[in-house]
């Protein structure tokens, strides 16, 4: 960790200058009564290219246990970790494959995506970073002893992605008792996708990304453990309304809010009583809320 620590410290300086219910409920517990859990959004993505193994390591170097990522399916059915449904913003796909517009993830094989540079757009220091498969990603998390908040991205584009995600997690040992109890949450903006995950593996902690109306919260509580909204869409009253209800595992619904990147915003949402904060700058948020 020593080599990476030096590079992450420089980046920080630059930025600052410029199938049972009980185990699942434990996976979402706060580390203390007062401090929200800090989730590194797409890894420590303020300091390394998002969703790469370098971003996982950057979070590890900062002492962050929980890492958030996004999974999608390639044309040949391999789960890869990338946020956008197209490859243009965070890779050199337009240069490598100039005739493949609009460069949708679903139109490329895993081997083709593995050829792409997913780091140079962020900084020349990360040239050659690759789009990892989910398998590669969880291997790195395991090596670093980190935990995973996994988002199923755009499930409407990828029929069956929930089953495939759970298959890979199971094969890699991430659906064992230890991971399910302490180190795995699966979330999505798609309510049906969250329902599917809960139906297939009712022991796994799930989260719904969004801000449902208070009147609709009981419907969501039937299949999810967390309501995870944008920080711009909530206040203390909303958080209290969510936490009055019990989720799918009989524990109070929790709130993980995103994407909070400043100390001031972190302090404000912590004051609302949120359980977790998803952030590109996990060190900033941690220091502001502990």
Q: Is 52 left (phi over 0), alpha (psi -120 to 50) or beta?
A: beta
Tell me, yes or no, if 198 is annotated catalytic.
Answer: no
For the chain, the helix, strand and coil percentages under 3-state DSSP, each to the nearest 5:
45, 15, 40
Tell me, yes or no, if 41 is annotated catalytic.
Answer: yes
Cross-strand pairs, 278: 39
Tokens (6 digits) for 7: 């590079």
What does the DSSP assignment read for 129-147? ----BHHHHHHHHHHHT-E
Burial class (CB in 10 A: 0-12, 13-18, 19+), 56: buried
- Using an 8 Å Cβ cutoff, are 284 and 262 in contact? yes
- Using an 8 Å Cβ cutoff, are 71 and 80 in contact? yes
- What gap in Å lies between CA 169 and CA 69, rounded to an integer? 14
| Backbone angles phi and psi of 145, in degrees to 5 | 60, 45
Cross-strand pairs, 29: none
- Using an 8 Å Cβ cutoff, are 161 and 198 in contact? no
Choose the catalytic residue: 83, 179, 198, 249: 83
Instruction: Provide the total of helices (H) and of strands (E) in the chain, helices listed first.
Output: 13, 9
Choose the catalytic residue: 41, 179, 198, 249: 41
> Where in the sequence numbering do the catalytic residues fall?
41, 83
């Amino acid at each position: 960790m020593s080599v990476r620590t030096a590079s992450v410290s420089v980046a920080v300086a630059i930025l600052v200058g410029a199938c049972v219910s009980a185990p699942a409920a434990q996976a979402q517990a706060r580390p203390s009564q007062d401090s929200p859990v800090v989730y590194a959004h797409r890894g420590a993505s303020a300091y390394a290219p998002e969703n790469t193994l370098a971003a996982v390591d950057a979070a590890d170097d900062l002492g962050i246990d929980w890492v958030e990522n996004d999974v999608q399916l390639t044309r040949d059915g391999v789960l890869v970790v990338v946020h956008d449904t197209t490859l243009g913003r965070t890779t050199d796909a337009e240069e490598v494959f100039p005739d493949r517009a609009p460069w949708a993830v679903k139109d490329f094989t895993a081997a083709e995506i593995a050829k792409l540079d997913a780091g140079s757009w962020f900084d020349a220091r990360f040239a050659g970073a690759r789009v990892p498969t989910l398998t590669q990603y969880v291997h790195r998390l395991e090596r670093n002893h980190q935990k995973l908040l996994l988002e199923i991205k755009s499930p409407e584009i990828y029929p069956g992605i929930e089953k495939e995600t759970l298959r890979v997690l199971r094969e890699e040992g991430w659906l064992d008792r230890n991971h399910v109890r302490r180190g795995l949450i699966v979330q999505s903006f798609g309510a049906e996708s969250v329902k599917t995950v809960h139906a297939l593996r009712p022991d796994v902690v799930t989260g719904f990304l969004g801000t449902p109306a208070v009147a609709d919260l009981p419907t969501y509580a039937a299949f999810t453990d967390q309501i995870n909204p944008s920080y711009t869409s909530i206040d203390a009253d909303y958080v209290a309304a969510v936490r009055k209800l019990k989720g799918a595992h009989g524990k109070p619904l929790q709130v993980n809010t995103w994407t909070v990147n400043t100390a001031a915003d972190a302090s404000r949402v912590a004051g609302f009583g949120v359980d977790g904060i998803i952030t590109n700058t996990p060190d900033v948020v941690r220091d502001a809320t502990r």
